[in-house]
Amino acid sequence: MRIPKRTSQRGTVAIIAAIALPILIGFAGLALDGGRLYLHKTELQNAADACALAASRELTCDPAAGPCAASFLLNAENSGLTVGQRNFLDFQGTAVGNAQLSASDITFSTTYAPASSYLSRAAGADPASKYVMCTTHQSGILPWFMEVLGVGGQSVAASAVATLSRAATNCAIPIGLCKIPGPSSDPFAGLTVGQWVTSKLSSSATGSFDWVDFTPPGGGASELADLLKGTGVCSVPAPPVQVGEQGNITSLDTAWNTRFGLYKGSDSIATAAPDFTGYAYTPTNWPAKFNAYSGSSGSEPNFQTARTQHKAWQGNASTGGTVNMGGVTVATSAQLTTSGADRRLVTAPVVDCAAWAGGSSSQQVPILGYACVLMLAPMGKSDPETYLEYLGKSTDLTSPCASSGSVGGPAAEGPLVPALVQ
């Protein structure tokens, strides 16, 4: 009996493999090439988000104060390009460049509108724009597997829109800035940006600011000291919440001075962060008593310059101060560089101090608003006066206090911060 040969079945596996191979390649392409395109999309989105947030921070012109200069758009464009191009693509192996994000990809609008309404600076965008859109894109992405099936280079794009929005978190120090007496209901009426306001922090509420207790009738010196050494009172409610007067608490000078890098007792740079600079401003070294934040006074560096250079506190002799140096450690410039934070540009509630001076039985008054102020100098127990510099409402578009906080809702009272809206 003869066994039949199987030569007629040879090559069957090859045929099946040939038929199945394109299908397998297709599945591999969908998984790997599709995943790669998704990764490119995610990386481009990161760059677009970063660009929009950085650019929106520069859209601070207030049209109510007069025509907006073209420099607002130029600054926003440059900021968006600089920050956006710090991102990377293709598994973080290639830096974002002009091919993925250029000036024409940064467009502006005065309102939150459809994408077609946005114009680039070169195309005539309005300098008073409040919204910025960044679009990133990449073309010619060759697939790893699908190219075998005739699929060519692919394109991916991403976009983001950002604007300035009020922050949910408004961390205020326990100092009440006094409303200037008068009939106006505007708590900021009569105050000028750059103006120095003064107080003796006395129990009679003389001067222009006073200690306040955010949790009346509780509180006390230890609570206020912790607020000064910490972040302050965060997420404070919108006006007109009631606060109470603390009067003259001389023991708070130690806590106040930590923000200038002066430490005494158990306080240290590890437990109470200083500002980036401890350089102080008093009538002695800044006689004009105006705009120490960005102005000029002989050879004295203003606050912005001192902060950039991380200048340490210069001492009582230079400022005419009366800080008791017994047991005090002064943070060095190197320590301010490595451990400094935004500690002297602070938010303070505005209150009607006349109600305190009038002997209110409850010793409580409502918060009328929030101001951005600069803490000018360390506090000495025998100082005749203590100064703050008024820098506008904390929600002003140009407020230097608008640099921190998470985005809040329509009723938020925090400073303006960049926020993604799309």
Is the distance from CB of 417 to CB of 167 less than 8 angstroms?
yes
Do residues 140 and 234 both lie within one domain?
Answer: no
Q: Is residue 143 part of a domain?
A: yes
Query: Does position 206 have pLDDT exceeding 60, yes or no?
Result: no
Which residues face 44 on adjacent strands? none
Instruction: Quickly state the pLDDT bin for 110 (edges 50, 70, 90).
Output: very high
Do residues 71 and 120 both lie within one domain?
Answer: yes
Last residue of a domain, one of 107, 128, 152: 152
Last residue of a domain, one of 152, 187, 210: 152
Mean pLDDT of the chain: 82
Q: Is residue 421 part of a domain?
A: no
Give the lowest-confidence range in 115-124, 178-187, 219-228, 270-279. 219-228
CA distances from 137 to 89, 113, 278 (A): 11, 21, 45
Distance separating alpha carbons of residues 370 and 183, to the nearest angstrom = 19
Do residues 188 and 334 both lie within one domain?
Answer: yes
Question: Taking residues 363-385, what's their average pLDDT?
Answer: 84
Do residues 236 and 127 both lie within one domain?
Answer: no
Do residues 206 and 98 both lie within one domain?
Answer: no
Query: Does position 170 have pLDDT exceeding 90, yes or no?
Result: no
Q: How many CB atoms lie within 10 A of CB 276?
A: 23
Q: Where are the beta strands (DSSP E) in 266-330?
A: 328-330
pLDDT in tens, 94-109: 889 998 999 999 999 9
Q: Is residue 328 part of a domain?
A: yes
Do residues 175 and 49 both lie within one domain?
Answer: no
Which residues face 177 on adjacent strands? 209, 350
Query: Does position 372 have pLDDT exceeding 50, yes or no?
Result: yes
* Degrees to nearest 5, angle at CA 411 with 408 and 416: 50
Supply φ then ψ for residue 240, to 5 degrees: -105, 60
Q: Is residue 4 part of a domain?
A: no
Q: Which residue has the higher pLDDT, 191 or 206?
A: 191
Q: Is residue 419 part of a domain?
A: no
Do residues 147 and 226 both lie within one domain?
Answer: no
Do residues 121 and 175 both lie within one domain?
Answer: no
Q: Is residue 133 part of a domain?
A: yes
Structural domain for 290, as ranges: 168-410
Do residues 142 and 184 both lie within one domain?
Answer: no
Supply φ then ψ for residue 149, to 5 degrees: -90, 10
Do residues 146 and 90 both lie within one domain?
Answer: yes
Q: Is residue 11 part of a domain?
A: no
Is the distance from CB of 413 to CB of 395 less than 8 angstroms?
yes
Do residues 401 and 342 both lie within one domain?
Answer: yes
Number of domains in the chain: 2
Last residue of a domain, one of 152, 178, 198: 152
Is the distance from CB of 348 to CB of 173 less than 8 angstroms?
yes
Q: Is residue 264 part of a domain?
A: yes
pLDDT in tens, 244-269: 765 555 578 889 999 999 999 889 99
Do residues 249 and 317 both lie within one domain?
Answer: yes
